[in-house]
Amino acid sequence: MIPRNFRLITIPVSHYSEKARWGLDYLQIPFKELAHMPPFHRGATKKYGGTTVPVLVTETGAATDSTDILRYLDRLYPEQLYPIDPQLQLLSTELEILFNNTLGVHTRRWGYSYIATSELLYPRWTLGVPFWEKLLFPVIFPRVGAILKQNFDITATSGAESYREIEIVFDRVDGLLADGRKYLLGERFSAIDITFAALAAPILQPPEHHISPAPLESLPTQMQTDIRTAQGTSAGKFGLRMYREHRSNSVESNAIVNLSN
C-alpha cells in the first residue's frame, strides 16, 4: 500500500529540493510543499532528525535527503527512476555521487559567490514561505548572509574556483553523450537525468524551473558569461532539454496539489 499525504519540506531555491520535487512531479504523486527560508527550515526539519532540506514526510516516516527521497519513491514505484541492470546500476551510483557531491556543491557555491545580497536573494528565498518569514527577512539576513558566506567558503575567487569544478563534471557528461545516447544511462529517462539537470539548474537557468530565472542582463557580468558558456556545452544543452521535455508538463499536472504553505 502506497502512503498518502506526502509533505515535502524545502527551501524554495534549493536545487536539492528541486531534485526531490521533480521526482514527485514526474511520478505524479500529489504532495504539499512546505517551503521555508533559512534558517527557519531547521525548525521544520529537526523533528525528523536533521537540519537540512529536502525532507519528505509520509504517513509511515520520513526521508531526509534528496537521494534517499528518490530511492524511496523508486521502492514505491519500482523501475520508474532507477535501472535494474547491474552495469547500469554501477554507472547510476557513480554519477549520482558525482552530481550530489561535486556538481550540486559547486553550482550552489558558484551562485552564492555572485548573488549573496539581500536584493537578489529575497525573491529566491521567500517564494511560497509563510508570511511572517518574509517579514523577518530584512532582520535576519545580515546574520544569515554572513553565516552562508562562511559555511560555503564564499571568497573573492570562489566563483571561479567552483566554475572549474563544474566544468569537470560537465566534461564527464559530455563524454557520455558523445555516443549519441538520449539519456545519461542510455535510452530511458531516470533519476540520474533528474539529478544532473536539477543540480545544474543554477548555472543553466532553465525557463521551466520552479523559480523563474532572473533576466540574464540583471546578473553580474561574470555570472552571465559563465551561464552562456555552460548553456552552450553538450551537457548544458542536455540539462536544458531535460527541463523542456520532462519538467514543464509534470509541474503543470501537479500544480493544484503542490501547495506552498
From first to last of the 261 residues of the chain, give the pLDDT tens digit: 677 789 999 999 999 999 999 999 999 999 999 999 999 999 999 888 888 999 999 988 899 999 999 999 999 999 999 999 999 999 999 999 999 999 999 999 999 999 988 888 999 999 999 999 999 999 999 999 999 999 999 999 999 999 999 999 999 999 999 999 999 999 999 999 999 999 999 999 999 998 989 899 999 999 999 999 999 999 999 999 999 999 976 554 443 334 333
CB-CB neighbours of 185 under 10 Å: 22
pLDDT for res 116: 87
Q: Angle between the 221-231 and 158-177 helix axes, to the nearest 10 degrees?
A: 10
CATH fold label, 6-81: Glutaredoxin (3.40.30)
Cell of 184: 545519461
Domain 86-249 in CATH 3.30.160? The answer is no
CATH 1.20.1050 residue ranges for the chain: 86-249
Which residues, at least 6 apart from 159, have a Cβ–Cβ distance to it below 8 Å?
A: 109, 110, 113, 114, 222, 223, 226
Residue 248, Cβ density class (10 Å: 0-12 exposed, 13-18 middle, ≥19 buried): middle
CATH 3.40.30.10-classified regions of the chain = 6-81
- What's the pLDDT at 259? 38
Q: Is the dihedral of CA 13, 14, 17, 23 positive or negative?
A: positive
Strand order in the sheet with 61-63: 31-35, 6-10, 55-58, 61-63
* pLDDT of the residue at 91: 98
Q: Which residues pair with 10 in a beta bridge?
A: 35
Q: Pairing between strand 61-63 and 31-35?
A: unpaired
